[in-house]
Amino acid sequence: MKLCEEGLALIRTQEGFRARAYRDATGVWTIGYGHTSMAGPPHVTPRMEISAQQGEDIFDRDVTRSAEGVRRSLKRDLTDQQFTALVSFAYNVGLANFRRSSVLRAVNDGDFAAVPRRLALWVKAGGRTLPGLIKRRAAEAALFAGETDAPRDGDARHPVEPPRGKPARQSTTTLAAIVSALAAAASTLASGVRDLAGALPAVHPSMIAAIIVAAAAAWIIRERWLKSRDEGI
């Protein structure tokens, strides 16, 4: 797997070149083709300026680092286009976010059809959904699918925020499950007290039913949390 030219052009175009340091959408000092201090040297400072050649050199180092990180994280062989699309994504969101993303999980699971949907979750910076990030994710998805005429216009800056699903406390499904679990627990406790008081030798049927309801509620809560984490909904 190696970087393809159309993918490298996509990254350059989406990042854009800035010779003078600036603050990105989240206030991080950035220069060149989306280079930040988190990516390694040089450390970006206010009023810092670089030449076009320096920008190319920094870009080469940064994209090589991203490519190596992506390659080490993959468990499957990909086409050069698929590989470069993931490098573009990792270059933008950072290797740490890439490694824990549902994008990588889908790729390693062989669920390539889910990759565009997973990529589309990563479109926020500074608490806002950015049109440039929407276009970039669409371009990366198209490149992953082998479409060489993928859109390349846009302005996607570092860093991108991990997608946040609907908080569990705001989910009506989760709240209903919690209420059911509490009701089941209360029923179990009440039944237990009655059974102890009557010294019954066998387990009361209502206790079995309550345990089943509580287990089902716990399963619903878990599934809701996983869906919120992985799909952002």
How long is the chain?
A: 233
Q: Are 161 and 223 in contact (CB under 8 A)?
A: no
* Catalytic position from the list 5, 6, 15, 147: 15
Q: Does the annotation count 15 as an active-site position?
A: yes
Amino acid at 71: R
Q: What is the DSSP letter of 167?
A: -
Q: Annotate 156-168 with DSSP letters as a single string.
A: --SPPBPP----G
Active site residues: 15
